[in-house]
Structure 1
Amino acid sequence: MTRRLLQAATAAMALIPVATGVLTMMGIDDPLYHASGLPRDALLDGNLRFFGGVWLALGLAMLSLVPQIEREGRLFAVLWGAVFLGGVGRALSMAWLGLPPAPFIGFTALELLGAPAFIAWQRQVAARDGHAGGAGPALQKSPPRQG
């Protein structure tokens, strides 16, 4: 699969946390949570808004990688690793409390299966484009010093 396709897919996937992060920063008043009838609770509202902000930042960080995606392997893997761990959290919730609405089961599958696939895809593109694992300039070997 090509670099351009990876860029397009990453940009599309990054728009999800950007949009939902903005919504989640509404806290309990987010349409999803508001419809569930959650009680007005400062702790819950504050945590929802905090995690909405973190989710928004993750999406913006992912968008920032798109232009030089083949060179950004480490950060790309860290961001998708965070998505994967979020999926682990959702899976634990399903195991302990039961299934959420159907779309969230799909999100969990995407997080647990898609994250490793995106990391592997980026590494493949980086290797094809001659970037050592896509590690970025700070992690690539410097030529030996002469002198």
Structure 2
Amino acid sequence: MIPTPDGGRRGLQIVLGTLSLIPFASGAAGVLVGPRALPGVDGPVPTDVDSEYRYTHAMWFTAAPTLWRALPRIEEEAAAVRAVSAAVFLGGLARLVSWRATGRPHPVLVGATALELVGIPVLLAWQRRVARLASR
């Protein structure tokens, strides 16, 4: 990758915009389809699990528009990026708790956990770099 004087601002916008499609699609599927949107879930689930799953996915659905709003001024929108990133990172930690309590999840969810716990800190560092270079 060729270093840019702006820290890769455009690249960050593209990566965040693209990655934001994950919670948007997952949130929409979770609200509309419920837990059967998960890989490996074919049958009915308890009513309370369905309700909580759809509620939680409505929250995920809102993460994408929050990031989309921040993209044009990504160097100035650290608070929005941090807030969404914190929620995603904490979700990854919650997945680890579940993994320990109930066993290894489907490989898709293992990948999601890796993205949440490794990718998010990288994106936050990238955003901080872009913001620092923009303030010069």
Shift of 1:110: 0.6
Aligned residue runs from structure 1 range 116-131, under 5 A: 116-130=121-135
Aligned-partner residue type, residue 31 of structure 1: A
Q: Are residues 69 and 49 of structure 1, via their aligned partners in 2, closer, same or farther at CA, if it must alter by over 3 Å?
A: same
Alpha-carbon contact 1:21-1:56 (below 8 Å) kept: yes
Separation in 2, partners of 1:34, 1:3: 38
Q: Taking structure 1 as the reference length, what is the TM-score of the superposition? A: 0.81
Give the length in aligned residue pairs: 130
Q: Which runs of 5+ in 2 are unaligned?
A: 1-6
Matched, 1:25 2:1: no
- Specify the alignment match of 1:81 in structure 2: 86
- 2:19 alignment partner in structure 1: 13
> 1:73-111 deviations in whole A, cap 9, x for unaligned?
122111101100000000111111110111111110110
CA RMSD in angstroms comes to: 1.8
Alignment of 1:62-141 (within 5 A): 62-130=67-135
Q: Percent sequence identity over matched residues?
A: 32
Deviation at 1:124, TM superposition (A): 0.1
Q: 1:34 deviation in Å? A: 8.1
Is residue 27–residue 48 contact of structure 1 (8 Å, CA) maintained in 2? no
Structure number with the bigger relative contact order (C-alpha 8 A, sep ≥ 6) is 2
